Amino acid sequence: MSIPQQGGGPIERPEQLADYIASGEKPREDWRIGTEHEKFGYTTADYKPLPYDGDASIKAMLEGLQQRFGWEPVLEAGHIIGLTRNGANVSLEPGGQLELSGAPLETIHQTCDEVNQHLVEVKEIAGKIGAGFIGLGAAPVWSLKEMPMMPKGRYRLMTDYMTRVGTMGQDMMYRTCTVQVNLDFGSEADMVQKLRVALALQPVATALFANSPFLDNKPNGMKSWRANIWQHLDDARTGMLPFAFEDGMGYERWVDYVLDVPMYFVYRDGKYINALGQSFRDFLKGKLPALPGEIPTLSDWADHMTTVFPEARVKKFIEMRGADGGPWRRLCALPALWVGLLYDQGALDAAWDLVKGWDNETREELRRGASRLALDAEVGAIKMRDLARQVLDISEAGLKARAKPGAGGLVPDESHFLNTLRESVDTGRIPADELLEKYNGDWARDLTRIYAEYSY
């Protein structure tokens, strides 16, 4: 989850809200790639989730990374809760999931190098303190009660609120991990086209990256239990956003959507002030019960925008949010998939042609099918595996058209990062299938085996 935003003067005109989003517009040559991924930490002595304090702990991890690799600490109420270095951040999810929010980079080659360097650093520190880290979409063994809570005020407020909306909010917070990529747009029209393609094709990403078939030490009946969670959470701030496909979609329509989402908090002087269920529209009028008489700043607006969780999210860039966390090859494949689809105009147009005839029901059924059956899902005449193959063809063409070389020019483009996804489509097997096969085979239903075989 996001680190609190800083700066930005008071919001004096409603137009500033849309202007804030529009300020993210960039010319094509300045478009960048920001990859984020989360992973579960555990103690190697007993395979329990890493607590915040102690010899083998999240705090020890952050302090080790800071001291050994030159990261700068981020503190809240005296607690180290994140790190920054050269445009990248390491932050904490509610249950101690460690997240890398990568720097904005030009190519997939660079972002994959960044991911690999981060995992090397994490493994070195983890090895010294008796910890390990694993990439999965959901915690396979640990119960919700076993998960620690990180010392962040935002999470204390959200944990309480999640009991009032939906049925799985706390599970999402504490027992899931994702990988996502943040991509730029050049104009309002470009944002709309990219958002529509991103929303429509998130189920394909969910299917290709499905990696959460276990919960509470047994199979849960889903290929992506993490994706299933998002279908049973706060309807006000999740989903496939049918309005995004309607005439008139643009910055102002996105603003209207976010304004309708109930607030969580206001951040002031290093503290989170409880504004649960209150209205940002009232805040704009100086009538927020949590801060009567105050009007919000642009940083308040930026914070509020981080509390909506649809399948694709607009800020000053667009976030792709449909994929489970997973093995390192897929941490590079996720940004490759979306860059290929969205950063070449020919590929973007082809992707839109593929999905523009779908109605809201089709998009929603694809979303539900992806969480249950991944590549085996079928919706009407659409077979997910065939759809994924078409999507990969378009993405590959987009990456080849970008022609961004790597390895000192020895690799002509970025398309090879899709190879692991091609393998899944060719075989019909995604990570969840492999895990279930091992669980029912070599592991003899002993899920502790997952840590030795799948940790980074």
Mean pLDDT by 10 residues, the chain (456 residues): 65 97 98 98 98 98 98 96 98 97 98 98 98 98 97 91 88 97 98 98 98 98 97 94 98 98 95 96 98 97 97 98 95 98 98 98 98 98 98 98 95 98 98 98 98 96
Residue-wise pLDDT for 112-137, tens only, equals 999 999 999 999 999 999 999 999 99
Contacts of 169 (CB under 8 A, 6+ apart): 158, 161, 162, 163, 233, 234
pLDDT tens-digit series, residues 37-75 = 999 999 999 999 999 999 999 999 999 999 999 999 999
pLDDT at 128: 98
| Burial call 392-414: b when 16+ CB within 10 Å, e when fewer | bbbbbbbbbebebebeeeeeebb
Residue 141 belongs to some domain of the structure: yes
Residue 330's Cα: distance from chain center in Å?
A: 13
Residue 5 has what pLDDT? 57
CATH of the domain at 390: 3.30.590.20
Measured at the CA of 102, the angle between CA 98 and CA 104, to 5 degrees, comes to 165
DSSP 273: E
Residues of the domain holding 152: 15-454
Structure tokens at 405: 């070389």
pLDDT at position 68: 98
Give all strands (DSSP E) within 20-113, no chain letters.
Answer: 33-43, 72-76, 79-85, 88-92, 98-101
Residue 9 lies in a domain: no
Q: Please check whether residue 71 lies inside any domain of the structure.
A: yes
Task: Give tens-digit pLDDT for 73-120.
Answer: 999 999 999 999 999 999 999 999 999 999 999 999 999 999 999 999
What pLDDT was estimated at residue 167? 85
Residue 165 lies in a domain: yes
Determine the pLDDT at residue 8.
74
Per-residue confidence (pLDDT) for residue 372, from 0 to 100: 98
Q: What is the pLDDT of residue 148?
A: 97
pLDDT at position 265: 96
* Dist. CA 268–CA 266, nearest whole Å: 6
Q: What is the dihedral of CA 305, 307, 308, 314, to 10 degrees?
A: 30
Residue 267, in any domain of the structure: yes
Distance of alpha carbon 197 from alpha carbon 176, whole angstroms: 25
Phi, psi angles (nearest 5°) of residue 313: -130, 135
In a domain, 293, yes or no: yes
Domain count, the chain: 1
Contacts of 185 by beta carbon, 8 Å cutoff, 6+ apart: 24, 25, 26, 191, 194, 317, 318
pTM (predicted TM-score): 0.97
In a domain? residue 3? no
In a domain, 302, yes or no: yes
- H helix or E strand, kind and range, residue 239: strand 238-239
- Give the Cα separation of 297 and 152 in Å (integer): 22
